Amino acid sequence: MHIVLRQLQGASTSKDKIRVELAVLDSGKGISKEFLKNQLFHPFSQENPLQTGTGLGLAIVNSIVRSKSVGGSVDVWSVEGSGTEIRVTMDVDIIPEASARSTAENTPWARNADGKPYSVSFLGFNQQVKGENLLRSVIQKYLDQWWGFTVLPEEDLNGDILVVNEDHRVIQRLLEKDAILQPVIVLSSFRGDSSLVSTVNAYEKAGGFCRIVYKPGGPSRLRNVLRLCVEALVSPMRATEEPSPLHHLRSLDNPNGSVTSINLMRRRSDEVTRSTPRPQLHTRSSTYQSIHSSAPVASIDEGSQLLNSHDSPRPATPSAPPSPLIVPTMPKKPPERGGGTMRVLIVEDNQILRDLL
């Protein structure tokens, strides 16, 4: 997959905006001409209905980009068996460089008690790879111009904070040398990497401070993690807390001492800002029936038989007490066809998708 973001010269509709184009190209199986022409932007449509997903992604993107507030366009080119190219074009606001520079003056948390900026070292960025060089330059601009950190040269690894790109073996070497004084930020493209998570856990268990920032990610996420690193420098005891008691589950789950069975990541309450909305708690299913309820409870023998609503359950004998099973209540009889309104049960744990369905 190849992603390109560029400015279209002379195509803006306003002097305080610029026209940008985001292009995504892949070498996949492509899209057939019939689907491309007739069903591409329709919601809940997939060329292969057996694939995962709901067929909403491109439809939602198209509706957002073509809305009045954005006023953009989405163009798709595809050759079956070769690949697909999608281009999103829209106007974006120009942010003056002066406002970005002034941000660095308003970040006192990036300086120590003496007023000196904290320093940052970069590790694992391959200079021979263009993408990694671009990533390093963008992060350096955030650190230097936006927030006021001091970025050390490539060969200087004595920064107050380490930013490691992909290679978590750097953390392993720090553990081997017992050099865990520097907070570490790991940039990773692989979510759920068990070796990375276990290495981070080992670093924190030894008394260090380490956080993972998954790609892609914007400056807001990086800034929040940097603030936690600064807090760890100011209050080292916060990074040397005892590990969670849940770590003992590893030895219980695997008596041989392997830690690959369970990977736990510690999360502190201060990693959630006050502006973070609390997720809504939903009521439990109405079909749940407590075992302490006065309603009859089926025994193991009765569990294989369905009781009609007209039947009365057999009472349990004193010699064979009923098994403490949770039994769903019988649903009401559905309305006859042609009369009344049909009810539909939606089972989905995501509230947005549930509301959409």
Shortest CA distance to 58 belongs to which of 79, 40, 80? 40
**Which residues sit opposite 17 in a β-bridge?**
93
- What is the per-residue pLDDT for 309? 40
Average pLDDT of the chain, as a whole number: 74
Label residues 40-58 b or e (16+ Cβ within 10 Å = b). Answer: bbeeebbbeeeeeeebbeb
Shortest CA distance to 147 belongs to which of 123, 118, 122? 118
Residues 6+ apart with CB under 8 A from 209: 183, 184, 203, 228, 229, 232, 238, 239
| Token pair for 122 | 């970069």
- Mean pLDDT calculated for residue range 181-185: 89
Asked if residue 41 has pLDDT above 80, the reply is yes
pLDDT in tens, 81-95: 889 999 999 999 887
- Mean pLDDT calculated for residue range 238-254: 39
- Mean pLDDT calculated for residue range 42-67: 89
- Mean pLDDT calculated for residue range 118-145: 88
Q: What domains can be seen in the chain, in order of their start residue?
A: 2-93 (3.30.565.10), 98-271 (3.40.50.2300)
| Token pair for 304 | 């294989």
- pTM check: above 0.85: no
pLDDT in tens, 263-305: 333 344 444 444 445 555 444 444 444 444 444 444 434 443 4
Asked if residue 139 has pLDDT above 70, the reply is yes
- Mean pLDDT calculated for residue range 10-20: 81
Say what the alpha-carbon torsion angle 273, 276, 278, 280 is, to the nearest 10 degrees: -160
